[in-house]
Amino acid sequence: MKEFGLFINGQWEAAKGGKTAPTINPATEEAWATVAVADREDVRKAVAAAKRAHDSGVWRNKSPQERGEILQRVAAALFERQEEVAAAEVQDGGGTLRKAMSMDVPGAAQTFMHFGQFICGDEYKAMLQEEYEESVPIPSRNLVVREPIGVCAGITPWNFPLIMAAWKIAPALAAGNCVVLKPASVTPVTSLMLAEICTAAGVPAGAVNVISGPGGSAGEELATHPDIGKVAFTGSTEVGRRIMQLGAGTLKKVTLELGGKSPNIILPDANLDTAALGALFGTFMHQGQICESGTRVLVHESIHDVFVEKMIAGIKRIAIGDTMNMMTTMGPLVSAAQRDTVEKYVAVGNEQGAKCVAGGKRPSNMPKGYYYEPTIFDAVDNKMRIAQEEIFGPVVAVIRYKDEDEAVRLANDSVYGLGGAVWSQNKDRAVALARRIETGTVWVNDYHMINLRFPFGGYKQSGVGRELGKWGLAEYHELKHIHVGESTPPEGKFYFQALLN
Amino acid sequence: MVHIAIAPKAAEVVARIRDARTGSLCFTIDGGCCEGTAPHLLADVIITPGAKQIGEVAGVPVYLQPAMVGIYTDAALTIDVVDEPLSDSMSLETEHGLRFVLREGE
What per-residue confidence (pLDDT) applies to B31? 81
CA distance B33 to chain A (A): 5
Q: What is the pLDDT of residues A459-490, one digit of tens each?
A: 999 999 999 999 999 999 999 999 999 999 99
Strand partners, B26: B42
Q: What is the pLDDT of residues A438-450, one digit of tens each?
A: 999 999 999 999 9
Task: State the CATH architecture for A263-444.
Answer: 3-Layer(aba) Sandwich (3.40)
Please indicate if any CB of chain B lies within 8 Å of the CB of A363. Answer: no
Partners of B84 on chain A (C-beta within 8 Å) are: 337
Tell me which residue of A227, A199, A192 sits closest to A213, measured CA to CA. A192
- pLDDT over 90 at A234, yes or no: yes
When pLDDT is averaged across residues A68-73 and rounded to a whole number, the result is: 98
Q: What is the pLDDT of residues A84-133, one digit of tens each?
A: 999 999 999 999 999 999 999 999 999 999 999 999 999 999 999 999 99
Does A220 sit within 8 Å of B30, measured CB to CB? no
Phi/psi of residue A305, each to 5°? -65, -45
When pLDDT is averaged across residues A375-395 and rounded to a whole number, the result is: 95
Does A236 sit within 8 Å of B30, measured CB to CB? yes
Q: What is the pLDDT of residues A361-378, one digit of tens each?
A: 999 999 999 999 999 999
Residues B30 and B41 sit within 8 Å (Cβ to Cβ): no
Beta strand A253-257 with A463-464 is antiparallel
Interface list for A 150-169 with B (CB within 8 A)? 157-159
- DSSP readout, A246-313? HHHTTT-EEEEE-----EEEE-TTS-HHHHHHHHHHHHHGGGG--TT---EEEEETTTHHHHHHHHHH
Q: How far apart are CA A155 and CA B90, in angstroms?
A: 11
**Chain A residue whose CA is closest to B83:** A337
- pLDDT over 80 at B86, yes or no: no
Closest Cβ–Cβ partner in A37, A242, A390 for B33: A390
Contacts of A253 (CB under 8 A, 6+ apart): A149, A229, A230, A231, A475
Write down the domain spans for chain A.
40-258+458-481, 263-444
Does B33 sit within 8 Å of A157, measured CB to CB? yes
Q: Strands, DSSP E only, in A50-177?
A: 129-134, 140-148, 151-155
Beta strand A6-8 with A11-13 is antiparallel
Q: What is the pLDDT of residues A149-171, one digit of tens each?
A: 999 999 999 999 999 999 999 99
**Chain A residue whose CA is closest to B96:** A214
Residues A183 and A169 sit within 8 Å (Cβ to Cβ): no
**Interface predicted TM-score (ipTM) of this complex, two decimals:** 0.90
Please indicate if any CB of chain A lies within 8 Å of the CB of B50. Answer: no
Please indicate if any CB of chain A lies within 8 Å of the CB of B80. Answer: no
When pLDDT is averaged across residues A23-28 and rounded to a whole number, the result is: 93
Q: How far apart are CA A342 and CA A391, in angstroms?
A: 6
The type of residue at A37 is V
Closest Cβ–Cβ partner in A23, A246, A389 for B86: A23
Q: How far apart are CA A183 and CA B2, in angstroms?
A: 36
Beta strand B60-64 with B75-83 is unpaired
What per-residue confidence (pLDDT) applies to B85? 73
The type of residue at A145 is V
Residues A393 and A345 sit within 8 Å (Cβ to Cβ): yes
The type of residue at A47 is V
Interface with chain B: mutation pick from A211, A238, A386, A415, highest number of B CBs within 10 Å: A238
Please indicate if any CB of chain A lies within 8 Å of the CB of B95. Answer: yes
Q: How far apart are CA B87 and CA A335, in angstroms?
A: 11
What per-residue confidence (pLDDT) applies to B37? 79
**Chain A residue whose CA is closest to B38:** A238
Q: How far apart are CA B43 and CA B22, in angstroms?
A: 8
* pLDDT classification of A222: cutoffs 50, 70, 90: very high
- pLDDT over 70 at A413, yes or no: yes
Phi/psi of residue A376, each to 5°? -115, 125
Residues B13 and B26 sit within 8 Å (Cβ to Cβ): no
Tell me which residue of A444, A438, A395, A388 sits closest to A417, measured CA to CA. A438
- pLDDT over 80 at A399, yes or no: yes
Q: What is the distance of C-alpha A449 from the center of its chain?
A: 13
- pLDDT over 60 at B106, yes or no: no
CA distance A184 to chain B (A): 7
Residues A222 and A40 sit within 8 Å (Cβ to Cβ): no
Tell me which residue of A258, A285, A307, A288 sits closest to A155, measured CA to CA. A258
Phi/psi of residue A78, each to 5°? -65, -40
CA A345, A346, A348, A354 dihedral sign is positive
Q: Among residues of chain A, what percentage have pLDDT more than 70? A: 100
Contacts of A429 (CB under 8 A, 6+ apart): A267, A269
- pLDDT over 60 at A32, yes or no: yes
What per-residue confidence (pLDDT) applies to A436? 98
CA distance A214 to chain B (A): 5
* pLDDT classification of A202: cutoffs 50, 70, 90: very high
Phi/psi of residue B78, each to 5°? -130, 130
Residues A265 and A298 sit within 8 Å (Cβ to Cβ): yes
CA distance A20 to chain B (A): 9
Q: How far apart are CA B16 and CA B19, in angstroms?
A: 5
Query: Which CATH number among 3.40.605.10, 3.30.470.20, 3.60.21.10, 3.40.50.1820 corresponds to the domain A40-258+458-481?
Result: 3.40.605.10
When pLDDT is averaged across residues A336-354 and rounded to a whole number, the result is: 94
Does residue B83 sit in helix, strand or coil?
A: strand
Does A246 sit within 8 Å of B94, measured CB to CB? no
Residue positions of A annotated with a catalytic role? 257, 291
- DSSP readout, A356-394? EEE--S--TT--SSS----EEEES--TTSHHHHS---SS
- DSSP readout, B1-60? -EEEEE-HHHHHHHHHHHHH--S-EEEEEE--GGG-SEEEEEESPPPPTT-EEEEEETTE
Residues A370 and A332 sit within 8 Å (Cβ to Cβ): yes
All domains of chain B, ordered by start, with CATH?
2-104 (2.60.300.12)
What per-residue confidence (pLDDT) applies to A434? 98
Does B90 sit within 8 Å of A242, measured CB to CB? yes
The type of residue at A484 is V
Residues A392 and B34 sit within 8 Å (Cβ to Cβ): yes
Residues A296 and A399 sit within 8 Å (Cβ to Cβ): yes
Length of chain A counted residue by residue: 501
Q: How far apart are CA A242 and CA A223, in angstroms?
A: 9
Kindly report whether the global pTM for this prediction surpasses the value 0.90.
yes
**Chain B residue whose CA is closest to A159:** B34
Q: How many contacts, defined by CB atoms under 8 Å, are there between A and B?
A: 118
Does B35 sit within 8 Å of A242, measured CB to CB? no
Please indicate if any CB of chain A lies within 8 Å of the CB of B86. Answer: yes
For chain A, give the mean pLDDT.
Answer: 97
* pLDDT classification of A492: cutoffs 50, 70, 90: confident
Residues A168 and A157 sit within 8 Å (Cβ to Cβ): no
- pLDDT over 70 at B105, yes or no: yes
Beta strand A443-444 with B60-64 is unpaired
